[in-house]
Structure 1
Amino acid sequence: MKSTSDQPDLSIGEIAARFGLPTHVLRHWESVGLLFPARAVAGRRRYGTADLYRIATILRAKEAGFSLDDVRAVLDEPDPAERRRILARQRSALTERIARAQASLEIIDVALRCEHEDIAECPHYRASLAARIGGR
């Protein structure tokens, strides 16, 4: 679904500053069909409220590990059932990444509590890595 320009009426520089992005990122997203800003005098891009939400969605999806193609598929898929399938697949992948990150965080926490000179000799540290060594 293409966004429309509604209030507020912001320039590319204002939008970039609001989101902490370089303007070339917004231009790239437009070139790959993720953004559709309105055009004002002399072809200048103007962004409305719908664009703000679309950019926020793109950023959040990128933070979750979505590719730009995945983001476009979610945002532009007209069939709600297909959009749910795409999102379910992304949710599963994100859940797996979160689990791996949580396991890594737990190992770091064990290492932080270790008082051994050589952390590799610490029985608690070794125990925290046992599942990984077991072929997982």
Structure 2
Amino acid sequence: MSIGEIAARFGLAPHVLRHWESVGLLSPSRVAGDRRRYGPDDLYRIAVILRAKEAGLSLDDVRRMMTSRDARRRRALLERHRTDLVRRIAEARASLDLIDCALECDHEDFSSCRHFQTMVEERVGLPAPPRA
């Protein structure tokens, strides 16, 4: 497949694939005129790169993970990112709970709702505002 076909398949700009090649993540074969040709292995690598980026890994970390022959180093890298991802998920869940609380509140101004204020206090660790 050509760079344009691959880019369209994954919803990427062709320059993204060229960049990934320049940093050592991809190495498509070349045909006449130095045109890139992507095969099934390249498709798989692109899918892995995209999933890794969705998980929060940097391109440098993706390259380390994909090129390291040391299984312990790969595992340590993934464990660090897993810990970070678990933290980010917990933060997103807490944010969603706060938004749901505001949306479900019967008060005209949800920010004056004691339940909402308690959720904010717990989230940021601040004392509650004085009651009027």
TM-score by length of structure 1 reads 0.88
User: Does 1 or 2 have the higher relative contact order (CA < 8 Å, sep 6+)?
Assistant: 1
Query: Would you say 1:88 and 2:79 are equivalent positions?
Result: yes
Q: Which runs of 4+ in 1 moved over 3 A?
A: none
**CA displacement, residues 27-53 of structure 1 (integer Å, 9 cap, x when unaligned):** 111111111111111110001111111
Q: Per-residue deviation at 1:115? A: 2.3
CA distance in 1 between partners of 2:58 and 2:33 (Å): 32
Query: Would you say 1:61 and 2:52 are equivalent positions?
Result: yes
Equivalences, count: 126
**CA displacement, residues 107-135 of structure 1 (integer Å, 9 cap, x when unaligned):** 11111101212221011211222212325
CA distance in 1 between partners of 2:57 and 2:120 (Å): 29
CA distance in 2 between partners of 1:51 and 1:20 (Å): 15
Q: 1:19 aligns with which of 10, 23, 28?
A: 10
Q: Per-residue deviation at 1:90? A: 0.8
Q: Per-residue deviation at 1:65? A: 1.1
CA distance in 1 between partners of 2:109 and 2:33 (Å): 66
Which residue does the alignment assign to 2:67? 76
C-alpha RMSD of matched pairs (Å) = 1.1
Q: 2:98 aligns with which of 107, 115, 120?
A: 107
* Structure 2 residues not aligned, in runs of 5+: 127-132
**CA displacement, residues 37-90 of structure 1 (integer Å, 9 cap, x when unaligned):** 111111100011111111011111111111111111111111111110111111
* Structure 1 residues not aligned, in runs of 5+: 1-9
Larger CA Rg, structure 1 vs 2? 2
Which letter maps to 1:85?
A
Which residue does the alignment assign to 2:25? 34
